[in-house]
């Protein structure tokens, strides 16, 4: 059961370097038209000096500043990533250290591109259990480190970035109707393996660097099915107050378009920013949440569904009653 919480702050951290589709033409056999037509992606941001932990810290610090909540009140940090620089400490622990938060609960979750929803639901669930008043949920990915830039089927899809929210207790529940699910990836549809390691007791000559691998057609079939199912389940859970807006995982515009058509939903009901950022894995939803609020698309009183899918194979969704004051330009 989720605690009564609201989103009190939201922010993103985006690398400075922008790589266009045209620039990728020098790396692989592709074109701007080919990429745009099949994915909806036009540019992506690539971290050069930035790190996954650094972007996580930056977005968390900005969300905290926006919320007006003192860092001393943070009792929980839940981070999600598949591309963190360290196996240990956790990304959440590194963010805690960077923000100089003396004591709190801090840990990571790993659920691929559904990671932010898993982390958000986990944090909202634990706030009652741990008697926490305020929490940070952050997603950060440096996908460029694990992208094979010689494989045109994957290198055109990914980008880097981070997003964070601050959760604070509220009188009424504003994060509701959690759905978390996983189905076994028996076909190795989305895989990112660790590089081989050698020990004196188990020597290995394998020096191959591992990159993310995907079976595009299988990903599409899985994604459209679980995205539609998640939205239908959320709609039913909302009862007589349905959500009117959707922020989906930004994996591929064709996936989102397909679900729009099958559910007979207006394109205006969906927020898309994949054209500018590409797929930033677990960070797509919080980045889109921040962009949607800053653009004035998401307004106080809106009921918005967040829905994602990813490796595992994971999927999930949650409904937010948006309570931040409208962004003034």
pLDDT digits (tens, 9 = 90+) for 216-242: 999 999 999 999 999 999 999 999 999
pTM reported for the whole predicted model: 0.97
Residue 329 pLDDT: 63
CATH for 177-187+214-321, options being 3.90.380.10, 1.10.10.10, 3.40.1390.10, 3.40.47.10: 3.40.47.10
Kindly give the pairing relationship between strand 175-182 and strand 134-142.
Answer: unpaired
* CATH number for the segment(s) 5-173: 3.40.47.10
**Which parts of the chain fold into alpha helices (H)?**
21-24, 32-39, 52-67, 91-98, 115-129, 152-155, 216-238, 253-262, 274-277, 284-294
Q: Which residues contact 91 (CB under 8 A, 6 or more apart)?
A: 52, 53, 56, 79, 81, 84, 108, 138, 140
- Residues carrying CATH 3.40.47.10, the chain: 5-173, 177-187+214-321
User: Which positions are annotated as active-site residues?
Assistant: 113, 249, 279
Cα distances (Å, whole numbers) of residue 5 to 67, 166, 167, 169: 13, 10, 6, 4
Q: What percent of the chain has pLDDT over 70?
A: 100
Please, which residues have CB within 8 angstroms of residue 237's CB and are 6 or more apart in sequence? 176, 177, 319
Give the position of tokens 């393996």: 193
Token pair for 291: 């962009």
Tens digits of residue pLDDT in 147-156: 999 999 999 9
Find residue 265's DSSP bridge partners: none
């Amino acid at each position: 059961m989720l605690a009564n919480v609201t989103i009190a702050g939201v922010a993103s951290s985006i690398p400075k370097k922008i790589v266009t589709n045209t620039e990728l033409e020098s790396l692989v056999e592709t074109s701007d038209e080919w990429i745009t037509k099949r994915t909806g992606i036009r540019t992506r941001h690539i971290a050069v000096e930035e790190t996954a932990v650094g972007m996580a810290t930056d977005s968390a610090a900005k969300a905290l500043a926006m919320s007006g909540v003192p860092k001393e009140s943070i009792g929980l940090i839940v981070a999600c990533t598949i591309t963190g620089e360290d196996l240990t400490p956790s990304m959440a622990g590194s963010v805690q250290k960077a923000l100089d938060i003396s004591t709190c609960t801090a840990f990571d979750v790993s659920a691929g591109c559904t990671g932010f929803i898993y982390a958000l639901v986990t944090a909202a669930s634990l706030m009652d259990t741990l008697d926490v008043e305020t929490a940070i949920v952050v997603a950060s990915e440096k996908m460029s480190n694990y992208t094979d830039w010689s494989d045109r089927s994957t290198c055109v899809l990914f980008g880097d970035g981070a997003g964070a929210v601050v959760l604070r207790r509220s009188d009424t529940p504003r994060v509701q109707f959690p759905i978390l699910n996983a189905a076994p990836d028996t076909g190795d549809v989305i895989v990112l393996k660790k590089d081989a390691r050698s020990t004196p007791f188990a020597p290995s000559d394998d020096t191959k660097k591992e990159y993310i691998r995907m079976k595009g057609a299988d990903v599409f079939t899985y994604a459209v099915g679980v995205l539609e199912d998640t939205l239908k389940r959320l709609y039913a859970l909302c009862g007589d107050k349905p959500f009117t807006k959707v922020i989906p995982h930004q994996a591929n515009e064709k996936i989102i378009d397909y679900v729009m058509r099958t559910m007979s939903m207006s394109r205006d009901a969906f927020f898309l920013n994949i054209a500018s950022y590409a797929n930033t894995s677990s960070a797509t939803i919080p980045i889109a949440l921040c962009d949607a609020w800053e653009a004035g698309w998401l307004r106080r009183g809106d009921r918005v569904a967040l829905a994602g899918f990813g490796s595992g194979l994971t999927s999930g969704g949650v409904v937010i009653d948006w309570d931040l004051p409208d962004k003034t330009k």
